[in-house]
Amino acid sequence: MNLSFSPAEEGFRREVRDWMEANVPRTRLPSMDTAAGFAAHRQWERTLNGGGFAMVSWPREYGGRGANLLEWLIFEEEYWRAGAPGRVNQNGIFLLGPTLMEYGTAEQKARFLPRMASGEEIWAQGWSEPNAGSDMAAIRANARADGDEFVLNGQKTWSSRAAFADWLFGIFRTDPESKRHQGLTFVLVPLDTPGVTVRPIAQLDGETGFAEVFFDEVRVPRWNQLGKLGEGWKVAMATAGFERGLMLRSPARFQATAARLVELYRRHASEADPSLRDAVVRAWTNAEAYCLNTYRTATRLIAGGSIGAEASLNKIFWSEMDVHMHETALAILDARAELLPHASAAGDVGDWLDGFYFSLAGPIYAGTNEIQRNVIAERLLGLPRS
């Protein structure tokens, strides 16, 4: 076993580090859940693309660098180390992009991937419906074939950043007689099409991180179908695999949080409850363990392996680790944790509270952890459904 990086990988790391040091904005961008913040983050995507760093693991022809998974992990380490902004087009580059590469036609790849990489087109995910969340097979939004068009009707909800996004990918029922996972089709929809109504959902902080999307006789070309008619579930499960597997939440994100937590504890060690030291150590070791496990998976994938239901283990691990790290930070900060960063007595509370609230969503999005546990029980452990 060789645990060191090759000279080429070290060179790539230096290149990324130098570029990030020169280009990462010095001041934090406004939240991407606001119109101004969304625009600023889109601009950052353009800058990344200009440097050739939009999505390093994609083939060059689509705006990538043809990097392998190990190089992608190195890129992520340098990205988070530099404190670079969140990826406003994560639905596109991390989820739809890889799905398009697997299921898209050559024309679809050429049409969508470069504009996705450049941030020119930012994507929302349209899966959940008011009565189809965990039970996604209950989807009722439908697409009726009419000549060379689909006519869409129905409603999606909880669509992250759809309030500002350009396109939405979703699954729609194309066979009205079908039940559950059958008869669904994966369709790509421009959000400015007549008949689409995007209604922002304000969060507790007033920012519109989500939207409901209504479809009323919305016409899109059948060319926008991804994968085969009626096989949308299969395509969506590939997307879900990318979401729960390696792409959406790389280890570097949590290693960066763990490093900040260690620093926070050091600053407060004299007044913090000594038992918190164990929690800090646990957070740090968990982040390292997640990193090593991800490198192991990446090596296996490079050698031709695949990732299946074990992606659910990853998802539970990172989401619970994130909650634990933020809870520990709030405990270190004690009563001050509840102050907003601009309060006069805030001291170094930073954005831990904001991060804590977002961490609580981790066990819900990308499929709740209860559902992941069902997947593990049935598909990895072979336990009976009841």
Map the footprint of ligand FAD across residues 86-145, applying CB under 6 A.
125-128, 133-134
Residues 6+ apart with CB under 8 A from 133: 158
Q: Is residue 143 a contact partner of residue 173, using CB atoms and an 8 Å limit? A: yes
Identity of the residue, 298 or 316, whose beta carbon is nearer to ligand FAD in the bound complex:
316
**Given 243, 288, 310, 338, the catalytic residue:** 243
Torsion of CA 130, 135, 136, 139, to 10 degrees: -60
Alpha carbon distance 334, 128 (integer Å):
37
Closest CA to 193 of 212, 216, 209: 216
Is 177 an active-site residue? no
Ordered DSSP codes for 120-138: SS-EEEE--BTTBSS-GGG
* Smallest gap from residue 20 Cβ to ligand FAD (A): 27
Q: Which is nearer to ligand FAD, 6 or 203 (CB)?
A: 203
Element spanning 211, H or E: strand 210-221
The residue within the footprint of ligand FAD, chosen from 58, 94, 103, 158 (CB under 6 A), is 158
Give residue 65's identity as a one-letter amino acid code.
R
- Rounded least distance, CB 125 to ligand FAD, Å: 4
Residues whose CB falls within 8 Å of the CB of residue 382, separated by 6 or more in sequence, listed in order = none
* Residue 49 DSSP class: H
For the CB of residue 165, give the shortest distance to ligand FAD in the complex, in Å. Answer: 9
Judged by CB under 6 A, how many residues of this single chain contact ligand FAD?
A: 17
- Nearer Cβ to ligand FAD (125/297): 125
Quote the least distance from Cβ 128 to ligand FAD, whole Å.
Answer: 4
Question: What one-character DSSP code corresponds to residue 338?
Answer: G
CB closer to ligand FAD out of 69 and 132: 132
Taking the complex as a whole, the smallest distance from the CB of residue 332 to ligand FAD amounts, in Å, to 25
Task: Classify burial at 47, counting beta carbons within 10 Å of its beta carbon; exposed 0-12, middle 13-18, buried 19 or more.
Answer: middle
Q: For residues 93 and 243, give the distance between their C-alpha atoms in angstroms, rounded to a whole number.
A: 11
Q: Taking CB under 6 A as the rule, which mask of x and - marks residues 347-386 in contact with ligand FAD? A: --------------x--xx-xx-xx--x------------
Cα–Cα distance measured from residue 377 to residue 384, given in angstroms and rounded to the nearest whole number: 8
**164 in contact with ligand FAD (CB under 6 A):** no
Q: Which residue is nearest to ligand FAD (CB)?
A: 133
The CA–CA distances, whole Å, from 94 to 72, 182, 198 equal: 12, 26, 23
User: 349: Cβ–Cβ under 8 A, 6 or more apart, which residues?
Assistant: 333, 336, 337, 339, 340, 341, 343
Least distance in angstroms from the C-beta of 126 to ligand FAD:
6
The separation between the first and the last C-alpha atoms of the chain, rounded to the nearest angstrom, is 42
The one among 160, 224, 257, 328 contacting ligand FAD by CB under 6 A:
160
Distance CA 227, CA 237 (A): 12
Closer to ligand FAD at the Cβ: 258 or 375?
Answer: 375
Stretch in the footprint of ligand FAD (CB under 6 A) among 40-48, 50-58, 156-164, 240-248:
156-164
Q: Residue 101 is which amino acid?
A: M
Can you read off the two tokens belonging to residue 51?
Answer: 């440097």
Q: 25 vs 130, which CB is nearer to ligand FAD? A: 130
For the CB of residue 88, give the shortest distance to ligand FAD in the complex, in Å.
13
Q: Give start and end residues of each alpha helix (H) in 334-377.
A: 352-361, 369-375
Among 159, 185, 255, 328, binds ligand FAD (CB under 6 A): 159
* CB nearer ligand FAD, residue 64 or residue 227: 227
Which residues belong to the active site? 243
Which stretches of the chain bind ligand FAD, using CB under 6 A? Answer: 125-128, 133-134, 158-160, 361, 364-365, 367-368, 370-371, 374
